[in-house]
């Protein structure tokens, strides 16, 4: 349920109301994911002065400012000051400590966007009070602007705030809004999913080499097969079952290969992997909540 929209102090690029404007963004946690998001925002039209970063080490800040042209701060409070969207891109275990740092400094009108896997919005709301918090899970294809990001609103989020979150995350790919109870499953499917695909690519490449193909040819064949297959899945209205049927002739090579995969428990292994990742996501969220309670973040 959305609360009525509040009137916000201007924290958007261009010096006018939030409607139709890209929000200014602070990214707290300048690891790989934070850098990827900053790069995507720049490619999507944000200017460097509309962004800020926070990192722990001076050398990392200097590296990012040199590469991206975006101001980087060692103090997350300085990075968040005056920015409409405050992105939390630290590891789940570091969330309680970060919230303890920024809880007194957030201004009315700021929106928190968490990319911390497994950490529920309730952890943020307990620490920050009635601050709008959105929980999101992108994935690493954000590096080439092909991510899928699922996001879920907390208790104090307005529809306008959700639109701003979409504008930020659509800089690196597509988005979908879901209920928060589904976010651990999202983490296990799309958040972790690239690793499943990379493992498949690795195994398929090794198998190709064992069949006599040179490595460069094996890698090209596998990479383009995965790219083309992904495009077919995304751009046609056909289900995976129908697409697989199109290349599986009775008694043919594909049928022989799929039979081996099914007999070897391929489908069950994928289901078990997703279940394990979802469970780990829940455990990380529970640990973050316990750490927040232990540290007195409230």
Burial 1-27 (b: 16+ CB within 10 A, else e): eeeeeeebeebbbeeeebeebbbbbbb
Give 258-283 pLDDT, tens digit per residue.
999 999 999 999 999 999 999 999 99
Model pLDDT, residue 48: 96
Same domain, 146 and 58: yes
For every residue of 29-86, which 3-state class applies, written as one string? CCCHHHHHHHHHHHHCCCCHHHEEEECCCHHHHHHHHHHHCCCEECCHHHHHCCCCEE
Residue 292 has a pLDDT of: 63
Q: Which residues of the chain have pLDDT under 70?
A: 1-21, 292-298
Query: Do the Cβ atoms of 29 and 89 come closer than 8 Å?
Result: yes
Residue 77 lies in a domain: yes
Rounded Cα–Cα distance for residues 195 and 94 (Å): 23
Q: How many residues are present in the chain?
A: 298
**Domain enclosing residue 229, as ranges:** 191-276
The whole-number pLDDT of residue 288 equals 83
CATH code of 197's domain: 1.10.3730.10
Question: Which residues, at least 6 apart from 109, have a Cβ–Cβ distance to it below 8 Å?
Answer: 6, 8, 9, 11, 84
Judge if 246 and 209 occupy the same domain: yes
Residue 144 lies inside a defined structural domain of this protein:
yes
Res 291: pLDDT: 72
Looking at 178, 212, 236, which one is the last position of a domain? Answer: 178
Task: Output the pLDDT for position 277.
Answer: 97
- Under 8 Å CB-to-CB from 246, ≥6 apart: which residues? 238
pLDDT digits (tens, 9 = 90+) for 56-99: 999 999 999 999 999 999 999 999 999 999 999 999 999 999 99
Residues 198 and 150 in one domain: no
Please state the domain count of the chain: 2
Q: Residue 254: CB partners within 8 Å, gap ≥ 6?
A: 247, 248
In a domain, residue 272? The reply is yes
Q: What b/e sequence results for 261-293 when a residue is b if at least 16 CB atoms lie within 10 Å of its CB, and e otherwise? A: eeeeeeeeeeeebbeebbebbbebbebbbebbe
Q: Is 130 in the same domain as 87?
A: yes
The answer to whether residues 42 and 174 belong to one domain is yes
């Amino acid at each position: 349920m959305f609360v009525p929209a509040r009137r916000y102090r201007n924290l958007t690029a261009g010096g006018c109301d939030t409607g139709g404007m890209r929000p200014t963004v602070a990214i707290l946690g300048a690891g790989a994911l934070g850098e990827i998001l900053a790069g995507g925002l720049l490619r999507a039209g944000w200017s460097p002065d509309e962004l800020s970063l926070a990192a722990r080490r001076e050398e990392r800040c200097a590296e990012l400012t040199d590469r991206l042209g975006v101001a980087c701060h060692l103090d997350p409070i300085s990075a968040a000051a005056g920015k409409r969207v405050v992105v939390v891109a630290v590891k789940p275990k570091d969330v309680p400590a970060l919230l303890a740092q920024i809880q007194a400094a957030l201004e009315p009108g700021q929106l928190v966007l968490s990319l911390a896997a497994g950490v529920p919005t309730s952890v943020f709301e307990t620490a920050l009070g009635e601050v709008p918090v959105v929980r999101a899970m992108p994935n690493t294809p954000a590096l080439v602007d092909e991510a899928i990001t699922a996001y879920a609103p907390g208790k104090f989020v307005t529809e306008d705030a959700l639109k701003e979150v979409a504008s930020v995350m659509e800089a690196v790919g597509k988005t979908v809004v879901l209920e928060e109870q589904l976010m651990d499953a999202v983490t296990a499917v799309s958040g972790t999913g690239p690793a499943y695909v990379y493992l498949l690519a690795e195994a398929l490449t090794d198998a190709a080499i064992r069949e006599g193909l040179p490595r460069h040819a094996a890698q090209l064949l596998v990479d383009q097969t995965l790219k083309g297959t992904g495009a077919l899945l995304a751009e046609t209205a056909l289900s995976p079952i129908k697409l697989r049927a199109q290349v599986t002739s009775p008694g043919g090579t594909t049928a022989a290969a799929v039979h081996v995969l099914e007999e070897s428990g391929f489908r069950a292994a994928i289901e078990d992997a997703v279940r394990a990742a979802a469970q780990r996501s829940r455990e990380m969220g529970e640990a973050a909540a316990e750490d927040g309670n232990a540290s007195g973040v409230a």
